[in-house]
Structure 1
Amino acid sequence: MKRRTFLAASAAAVTAAAINPSLALAAEDNPLLATWTGPHGGVPPFDKVKVEHFKPAIMKGIELNRADIAAIAANPAPANFDNTLRAMQASGDPLTRAASMFNIYTSTLSSDDMQKVEQEVTPVFAAFGDEITQNEALFARVKAVYDTRGTAGLTDEQKRLAWRTYNNFARQGAALNGADKKRLAEINQRLATLYTTFSQNELADEEDYTILLEEGDLAGLPDSLKAAAAATAEDKGQKGKWMLTNTRSSVEPYLTYASKRDMRQKAWKMWISRGDNGNAHDNNKIITEILGLRAEKAKLLGFKTHAHWITAGQMSGTPDAAMDLMLRVWKPAVARVHEEVADMQKIADAEGGGLKIEPWDYRYYAEKVRKARYDLDQNEVKPYLQLDKMREAMHWAAGQIYGFKFAEIHDVPVCHPDVRVWEVTKGGKRVGLWYFDPYARAGKQSGAWMNEYRTQENFRGFVTPIVSNNCNFVKGKPGEAVLISWDDASTMFHEFGHALHGLNSNAHYPQLAGTNVARDFVEFPSQLNEHWLPTKEVLSRFAVHYQTGKPIPEALVKKIKNSETFNQGFITVEYLASALVDMKAHLAGATPIDPKEFEKATLAEIGMPAEIVMRHRMPHFGHIFSGDGYSAGYYDYIWADTLTADAAEAFAEAPGGFYDKPTAKRLHDSIMSVGDTIDAGEAFRRFRGRDVNVDALMRDRGFPVA
């Protein structure tokens, strides 16, 4: 899940109408600010929104929210939970709605005009966030509620909200002196601009660089990939040709199957060079400035480095704890890579080409090893993995585990014709809405992610969540099934796990609801959801051949299961290299960093195998440089995967396996529904009955257990 969020009135107050009716009336004139109306509890008004609405909506939304905050801060009554924290949760609704739509458009419909708006308003968002945090009267009231939380008769969830609100203010410099607050605000505004520029540069290189293929360049590709490349070329005005776009969903399959080595190298080079082409969209200088500003900010806030500031608010607690886990896994992963490379080199040598395995060869020869060792060709699997059937599989599994039913609806507007919408119910009652945006297009970020249009709440009437999943599959011809890889199917289940986390939420206050949990806990529900894909119950029902309709043969399923730990060296090292570079870059403090030299030196220091590159090289590492979402926190995935492997063993050990009802209920009650109303470590203990055991992760990846 990519987290690239903007201030959406995390502070709150009494309604704008109660403060200034004229402001509230003005808000209703702009569709971005207006209350969401229509069926299903109200829906985003995509049919009314235009790019020119965004800047005035955000400025007006900030004006309204500013009035909300002023009313809370100036309240003459002694601070208590209701007139301060509850009021803060209830404030800023117009801005929250505008910010939600802003996030949708900047990530999926980022036209030139929208990018200009983004450049203009992101510093404004940052400035307003600092304005709230640095409001001394407001912070005094928050602190008063926090200090008396144990004696004020609050519920456990209210105490948790008091702790989290106070902690958020303190961590963002609410207690700094005037000069330091001023400098912090300057840093935050500059960072907001740099984050936007970095993201737009990455998107530009993804859209501006393509490779036009000749027929001979298609050697080795399955028919489905050839058809996708032809459709892409036609869309780009090159009918009769074939084209690779600079996206993971286009390049990685080509690297896996294309037999022309020089073309694999060309595609690989294009993909790993995003943001690093020495052109107007080069991100290297931006990275240096971001890291420097983050280091300065951490010092202002009283932390040794940005990494210390980030981890202090997470399950890990310290950079050392995160590094310890990563390095514990790194050594056996690298050892496995050397074994994998040796296996691939044997095949390459037998072919007589005289080549040494290079990064653009890894996927290609790994696939040959897979076929030789397990008699498993991914091209055998792909015809059974239709995009629509995998979507149905996700819905069915969610029904078995959480009791959800999904019914497609057509009475709500969408932001693009490709987007489809389902109403989610449980026991006949609406749980929320799920939007699905599966295809790549110009102006859409690459990759896959979950987005939350509306967060669940229950302190002023039950508000149902609206969530979305977004992918970048290459759209086929009308009426043709879109076939996806096993990895793509796993990614779909992963991102859908985030959506289920949001849909299952049952908290009172939005700040504690859904996926608003510790960063190194948020990937746990999503990674756990991947485990339902390979179950017999899912594959026998939904992995059906796109032409014959016959279910995937049990012999093929057995081959898939036998190869579960195959290539785990590559998968783990590719990811961990990025996570380690991320952490080390943010542990460097004020030391100026040249991204190219730092990346090279760090990889050499940790013993990076020459046959692999980082999953995200620094110049296109959007997770950590297009916002603070995963900065000094890309380790979150391995941290969460440790929880995931242990939790998956709980299901595997249960009488009903992954469909065991008591275990599923415990997952719902302890993890999926509670958001951040309880500590993440306590939530896991309630589910598992103990603290996490790292050995499960090693077993899951096929590594030796110490």
Structure 2
Amino acid sequence: MSILNQKFNTAHDTAPFSQIKNEDYIPAFDIAIEKTKAEIYAIINNSDKPTFENTIAAMAYSGMELDRISNIFFNLHSAETNDELDKIAQEVAPKLSKLANDITLNPQLFERVKAVYDQKDQLSLNGEQHTLLQKSYRDFVRNGALLAEEKKEILRQIDAELSVLKLKFGENVLAETNAYQLHITDDQDLVGLPEGAIEAARGLAEIQDKTGWIFTLDYPSYIPFITYADNRTLRREIAIAAGRKAFQDNEYNNTENILKIVRLRFQRAQLLGYDTHAHFVLEERMAKQPANVEAFLNDLLHKAKPAAEQELQELRTFANNMHGIAQLEKWDTAYYSEKLKQEKFNLDDELLKPYFQLEKVMDGVFTIAHKLYNLHFHEIQHIDKYHEEVRTFEVTDHNQHLVAIFYADFFPRKGKRNGAWMTSFKPQYFKDGQHERPHISIVCNFTRPTATKPSLLTFNEVTTLFHEFGHALHGMLADTTYPTLSGTSVFWDFVELPSQIMENWCYEKEALELFAKHYQTGETIPMELIDKIKASASFMEGMATLRQLGFGLLDMGWHAQDPTPVDNLKAFESSCFASTQLLPDVTENAMSPSFSHIFNGGYSSGYYSYKWAEVLDADAFAYFQEKGVFNETVADKFKENILSKGGTEHPMTLYKRFRGKEPSVDALLKRAGLIK
């Protein structure tokens, strides 16, 4: 039996990464799948009449060994993958899909769930139990429990195919990201680039025994190049390379995968009685209907577009005056925006970076979590890591009780996908008198330390760290009975509130003074720089808003209508972007083939959630600002009503209990400078 199928004999029951071998996974999955089936059969074959405890609660605690193995495997498949793990993922995904279908399509099990559900009004359930019962019943119905047998079989086939297609999509994006390098040998091509970016590029070249400098599509390499390099031809080259990921004539092209995914999702929704995949998804979201999402996005578009067009015109004039650029292109906006920001605010990211040493920013976010929620973070070395660069922490409360185990993984590697995310290796839950605490991880791709400098973050990387740490707090502070309702197990258009609200502290003087210290002198960030950060917070916000709205509308375009007639991905995408596009199209680029959020992540029909959550976070943070950004009463209310509650109640109920009212979009529009 694999170590993965045994109780971990480790501190705090943490994952024994160093003892797990690739060949352990498939046998471990197979054993855990059989154990899960046995747990389900025990529920079905229980001779007692169905009750909440012997059916609904028993299901919530079933399959926990399998969930644990899945968490470990799929987290590593994102953060530390290799060809072998890719093959295992392709083999395991259909097995997990089949098991999920075996459970939700089992008529005897559904009969027991329905028997409890039908008597819900006679049961003395608390709020969390009531939510779990409702969710359990809906999960069965939404996954085909009411279908005829032949339709259940079609559903199984669709789910199995989708599980593999989504994995393949993600693997293709990672392969394309890893395949491209911009190799520079002439130092004249580096003019404009910050010293840190040049040093990192030299380090990449040295690793490969090459002369010169290597830039890649990993964000810490790509973003400085596209933002600072004076060589417009090379900016164009790397921008086009980024935009054609998985949209080239090679084995990694995702076009067919996308068309198959959207058609299968539509077919699945229709099979279950929904108009489209978006109708199916949004039934379990705050937004409820595609029409509400489209109205929300178009309302913001109406308000943001005039500001975006004005910003673009200002940028065009600036670029023309500076370098005689008559037509701004995709590879120009970051470059000239940065130059214009420097001119308007005398603020340069390179001026800020010395104040944002990664370790000090980490200490700062820990201090803020302590001031708000009484948490203590102690770095530990006695638990296993999946990579030597991962940092590990015990998180305790004011009584020194364990709150969580926290993993932090910060730098790009070949086996790590781009971007930043929070995840968990073990959820929080309460069972048999034992309160199990969660194991939470954040994974980022930040600028590496170099031979002469520590890791110095751009301000954007600082806000990213705060964002992912906000998700981590949602996981760490979970306080629910059932694992399926714990932490971030909430409606997906609510899940970004805890992360996005954390970003606000990056702009507050009281918070910045805790951690923004010059890495060489120890000097606290000067007040004038703080003022400039705040003044520039809404700089180019109209254009940024349009970009996000475009992604949301593209998502709804794929999922809120019948995608069957779509045969030209590029033409379809262009039609979706028509109302938000400000710059000329690049023929060889497309967004969808690398749009991992909606084709490989959990955001299909949900990309609007980022903007939706911005409304919530702007409104919520306005409450902190009214009372004080470290006000204990407001922080306690946020912790008790939002962070600890997971998915135990409807999000709007939780939000109104915290805020005393529904959120207003005005707070977001004011913060973004889109209304006065």
Place the TM-score, normalised by the shorter chain, in its bin.
over 0.9
Give the letter aligned to residue 501 of structure 2.
L
Q: String of CA shifts for 1:607-663, please: whole Å, max 9, x gaps.
A: 411268899810001111114x10011111111111111101111111xx1101111
What secondary structure, in the 3-state scheme, does the structure 1 residue paired with 2:250 have? coil
Deviation at 1:525, TM superposition (A): 0.6
Q: 2:452 and 2:10 mapped to 1: Cα distance?
A: 31
Q: 1:613 and 1:374 mapped to 2: Cα distance?
A: 31
Give yes or no for contact 2:447–2:456 (8 Å, CA) kept in 1. Answer: no
> Equivalent residue for 1:618?
592
Deviation at 1:120, TM superposition (A): 1.0
Summarize the Cα distance change of 1:478–1:95 in structure 2 as closer, same or farther, 3 Å threshold. farther
Q: Is 1:599 the equivalent of 2:573?
A: yes
Q: 1:612 and 1:502 mapped to 2: Cα distance?
A: 40
> Equivalent residue for 1:205?
176
Pairs within 5 Å for 1:265-414: 265-414=236-385
Q: String of CA shifts for 1:434-472, please: whole Å, max 9, x gaps.
A: 000101101111100001111100133100000000011
Q: Is 1:159 the equivalent of 2:93?
A: no
Alignment length, in residue pairs?
671
More off after superposition, 431-440 vs 355-364 = 355-364
TM superposition outliers: structure 1 runs of 4+ over 6 Å: 612-616
> Equivalent residue for 2:475?
502
Q: 1:608 and 1:472 mapped to 2: Cα distance?
A: 28
Summarize the Cα distance change of 1:325–1:514 in structure 2 as closer, same or farther, 3 Å threshold. same
Deviation at 1:294, TM superposition (A): 0.6
Give the letter aligned to residue 424 of structure 1.
V
Identify which of 397, 403, 425 aligns with 2:396: 425
Deviation at 1:222, TM superposition (A): 1.1
Q: Is 1:227 the equivalent of 2:207?
A: no
Give the letter aligned to residue 451 of structure 1.
T
Identify which of 490, 515, 523 aligns with 1:517: 490
Identify which of 489, 499, 507 aligns with 1:526: 499
What secondary structure, in the 3-state scheme, does the structure 1 residue paired with 2:422 have? strand
Summarize the Cα distance change of 1:237–1:337 in structure 2 as closer, same or farther, 3 Å threshold. farther
Summarize the Cα distance change of 1:317–1:518 in structure 2 as closer, same or farther, 3 Å threshold. same
Give the letter aligned to residue 535 of structure 2.
N
Q: 2:590 and 2:374 mapped to 1: Cα distance?
A: 37
Q: String of CA shifts for 1:206-226, please: whole Å, max 9, x gaps.
A: 111111123222110111111
Q: 2:547 and 2:219 mapped to 1: Cα distance?
A: 14
Pairs within 5 Å for 1:611-650: 617-627=591-601, 629-650=602-623
Q: Is 1:470 the equivalent of 2:434?
A: no
Give the letter aligned to residue 430 of structure 2.
N
Give yes or no for contact 1:326–1:580 (8 Å, CA) kept in 2. Answer: yes
Give yes or no for contact 1:406–1:423 (8 Å, CA) kept in 2. Answer: yes
Identify which of 66, 82, 103 aligns with 1:132: 103
Give yes or no for contact 2:546–2:580 (8 Å, CA) kept in 1. Answer: no
What secondary structure, in the 3-state scheme, does the structure 1 residue paired with 2:307 have? helix
Q: 1:480 and 1:31 mapped to 2: Cα distance?
A: 41
> Equivalent residue for 2:562?
589
Identify which of 419, 430, 435 aligns with 1:447: 419
Summarize the Cα distance change of 1:478–1:451 in structure 2 as closer, same or farther, 3 Å threshold. farther
Q: How many percent identity over aligned positions?
A: 35
Summarize the Cα distance change of 1:613–1:560 in structure 2 as closer, same or farther, 3 Å threshold. farther
> Equivalent residue for 2:39?
68
Give yes or no for contact 1:126–1:189 (8 Å, CA) kept in 2. Answer: yes
Q: 2:576 and 2:57 mapped to 1: Cα distance?
A: 47
Q: String of CA shifts for 1:521-545, please: whole Å, max 9, x gaps.
A: 0001100011112222221121111
Give the letter aligned to residue 63 of structure 1.
E
> Equivalent residue for 2:508?
535
Q: 1:77 and 1:319 mapped to 2: Cα distance?
A: 43
> Equivalent residue for 1:50?
21
Give yes or no for contact 2:354–2:456 (8 Å, CA) kept in 1. Answer: yes
CA-based RMSD of the aligned residues comes to 1.6
Pairs within 5 Å for 1:107-256: 107-214=78-185, 215-238=187-210, 240-256=211-227
Q: String of CA shifts for 1:112-164, please: whole Å, max 9, x gaps.
A: 11111111111111111111100111111111122222212222211111011
What secondary structure, in the 3-state scheme, does the structure 2 residue paired with 1:439 have? coil
Deviation at 1:590, TM superposition (A): 4.5
Give yes or no for contact 1:311–1:318 (8 Å, CA) kept in 2. Answer: yes
Q: 2:322 and 2:75 mapped to 1: Cα distance?
A: 49
Structure 2 gaps of 5+ residues are none
What secondary structure, in the 3-state scheme, does the structure 2 residue paired with 1:304 have? coil
> Equivalent residue for 2:463?
490
Give the letter aligned to residue 156 of structure 1.
G
Q: String of CA shifts for 1:336-388, please: whole Å, max 9, x gaps.
A: 22222222222222224343211100011011111111121221111111111
Q: 2:629 and 2:591 mapped to 1: Cα distance?
A: 36
Q: 1:354 and 1:486 mapped to 2: Cα distance?
A: 28
More off after superposition, 519-528 vs 212-221 = 212-221
Give yes or no for contact 2:573–2:590 (8 Å, CA) kept in 1. Answer: no
Q: String of CA shifts for 1:385-438, please: whole Å, max 9, x gaps.
A: 111111111111001111000000000010000111000000211101100010
What secondary structure, in the 3-state scheme, does the structure 1 residue paired with 2:394 have? strand
Deviation at 1:56, TM superposition (A): 1.1
Summarize the Cα distance change of 1:607–1:635 in structure 2 as closer, same or farther, 3 Å threshold. closer
Q: 2:166 and 2:550 mapped to 1: Cα distance?
A: 22
Give the letter aligned to residue 597 of structure 1.
A
Q: 2:599 and 2:575 mapped to 1: Cα distance?
A: 20
Deviation at 1:570, TM superposition (A): 2.2
Deviation at 1:48, TM superposition (A): 0.6
Q: 1:236 and 1:573 mapped to 2: Cα distance?
A: 40
What secondary structure, in the 3-state scheme, does the structure 1 residue paired with 2:629 have? helix
Give yes or no for contact 2:448–2:454 (8 Å, CA) kept in 1. Answer: no
Q: Is 1:578 the equivalent of 2:579?
A: no
Give yes or no for contact 1:570–1:612 (8 Å, CA) kept in 2. Answer: no
> Equivalent residue for 2:76?
105
Deviation at 1:289, TM superposition (A): 0.7
> Equivalent residue for 1:438?
410
Q: 2:354 and 2:304 mapped to 1: Cα distance?
A: 31
Structure 1 gaps of 5+ residues are 1-28
Deviation at 1:190, TM superposition (A): 0.4
Deviation at 1:479, TM superposition (A): 7.2
Give yes or no for contact 2:426–2:438 (8 Å, CA) kept in 1. Answer: yes
Give the letter aligned to residue 561 of structure 1.
K
Summarize the Cα distance change of 1:675–1:278 in structure 2 as closer, same or farther, 3 Å threshold. same
Give yes or no for contact 1:288–1:592 (8 Å, CA) kept in 2. Answer: no
